Amino acid sequence: METMEIKPDLIGQSVGRLDSHEKVTGAALFTDDLQFGRKLLHARIKRSPHPHALIKSIDVSRALDLPGVKAIVTGDDFPEHIGLYLKDKHIFARERVRFVGEPVAGVAAVTEEVAEQAVELIDVEYEPLEPVFDPEFGASPEAPLIHPDLEKYEVPNFIFPQAGTNIANHFKIRKGDTGRAWERCTTIVERKFHIPHIQHVPIEPHVAIAQVDQTGKATLWASSQSPFAQRNLIAKTLGISQSDMRVIAPLVGGGFGCKAGVTMEAMPVAIATKVPGYPVKLRLTREEEFYTNFVRQGLVINIKVGCDADGKLLAMENTMFWDGGASTEYGVNITRAGGYSSTGPYDIPNVKTDSLCVYTNHPIGGAYRGFGMSELHTAVDQCMDELAEAIGMDKVAFHKLNCVRGGDTLVTGMTLHPVGLEECIDKVAKAIDWGEKPPAGAPNKRRGKGIALAWKAPAMPPNAGSSARLELNEDGTATLGVGGQEIGQGTFTAVAQIAAATLGVPYESIRIAGPLDTQYSPYEWQTVASRLTWSMGNAVRAAASDARRQILETVAEAWDEDVNDLDIVDGVVISYRSEQEQPLKEMVIYGLPNEDFTEWTGGPIVGRGMFMPTYVTGLDPETGQGERAVVHYTVGAQAFDIEIDMETGKIEVLKGAAAFDVGQAINPELVKAQIEGGFVQGLSSAVFEEIQLKEGVMQNPSFVDYRIATAADIPHEIESIIVEVPQDDGPWGARGVGEHPMIPAVAALANAIYDAVGVRMDGPPFSAEKVYLAMLDAGIVN
One-letter amino acid for residue 745 of the chain: A
317 catalytic per annotation: no
CB 206 within 8 A of CB 283: yes
Which of 74, 32, 84, 39 has the alpha carbon at shortest distance from 221?
32
**Which residues, other chains included, contact 134 with Cβ-Cβ below 8 Å and sequence gap of 6+?**
300, 360
Q: What is the rounded radius of gyration, in angstroms, for the C-alpha atoms of the chain?
A: 28
Q: How many CB atoms lie within 10 A of CB 655?
A: 17
d(CA 631, CA 457): 7
**What's 16's DSSP letter?**
P
Helix (H, G, I), strand (E, B) or coil at 515: coil
d(CA 172, CA 177): 14
Q: How far is CA 21 from CA 188, 194, 225, 514, in A?
A: 58, 45, 20, 11
d(CA 198, CA 294): 10
d(CA 553, CA 481): 23
Which of 369, 473, 432 has the alpha carbon at shortest distance from 746?
369
d(CA 59, CA 81): 23
End-to-end Cα separation, the chain, in angstroms = 78
d(CA 283, CA 202): 14
Handedness of CA 47, 49, 53, 58 (dihedral sign): negative
Which of 656, 653, 639 has the alpha carbon at shortest distance from 744?
639
d(CA 523, CA 489): 20
H or E element that contains 583: strand 581-583
Q: How far is CA 481 from CA 151, 230, 518, 707, in A?
A: 41, 19, 11, 39
Half-sphere exposure (Cβ direction) of 289: Cα atoms closer than 13 Å:
21
Beta bridge partners, 658, equal: 638, 720
Helix H, strand E, coil C: the string for 608-627 is EEEECCCCCCCCCCCCCCCC
Across 40-63, b (16+ Cβ under 10 Å) vs e yields: bbbbbbbbbebbbbebeebebeeb
Q: How is 521-543 classified by DSSP, letter by letter?
A: SPPBS-S-TT-IIIIIHHHHHHH
Instruction: Please report, to the nearest 10 degrees, the dihedral formed by the alpha carbons of residues 431, 437, 442, 447 taken in order.
Output: 70
d(CA 604, CA 95): 57
The residue from 329, 689, 719, 739 that is catalytic is 739
d(CA 148, CA 171): 21
d(CA 366, CA 526): 14
Question: Which residues are catalytically annotated?
Answer: 739
